[in-house]
Amino acid sequence: MPFPSLGECDYQSIFWSLVAKEFLIYKGLQKPLVYRGFQGKFIAWGISSLVLGVVLGGLIGSLTSMILGGVITISVIVLGLFITSQQQKKGLHTKTRYVGVFQIATVLKLKNHVKKKENRI
């Protein structure tokens, strides 16, 4: 009596051929993700400023006037993209940059810290 676990059945070979397919994975060219000048996480910042501008402008436009909603939409989108581009110039990770000349005071005390070894027999 053939057992399916021993590989003597025909349906197992059909199933295995369906499962054992190999798919090629495109790994890219090892370049950073760039879309219209925005890199990495700043792409999401730009998209979120666009979405926020459209939603906020649409909400203001429906509650008050279409002209005010359009002005709000354009101003939020422009301001958001400007802030995103300025943050991108600072770098991917937020760094603290100090401006000026720093003078580090060093205090050196010359003491004899070496203990004399006693001659032991």
As separate numbers, helices (DSSP H) first and strands (DSSP E) second, the chain gives 3, 2
pLDDT at res. 20: 62
Q: Can you tell me the mean pLDDT for 108-115?
A: 64
Structure tokens at 84: 């995103």
pLDDT beyond 80 at 91 = no
* Residue 43's pLDDT band (cuts 50, 70, 90): confident
What tens digit of pLDDT does each residue of 26-37 get? 666 667 777 777
* Residue 41's pLDDT band (cuts 50, 70, 90): confident
At residue 34, the 3 state secondary structure works out as strand
Minimum mean pLDDT among 6-15, 39-48, 49-58: which range? 6-15
pLDDT beyond 90 at 57 = yes
Nearest to 31 by CA among 39, 22, 19: 39
pTM over 0.75: no
Task: Specify which of 9-13, 19-23, 98-102, 113-117 reaches the highest per-range mean pLDDT.
Answer: 98-102
pLDDT at res. 100: 84
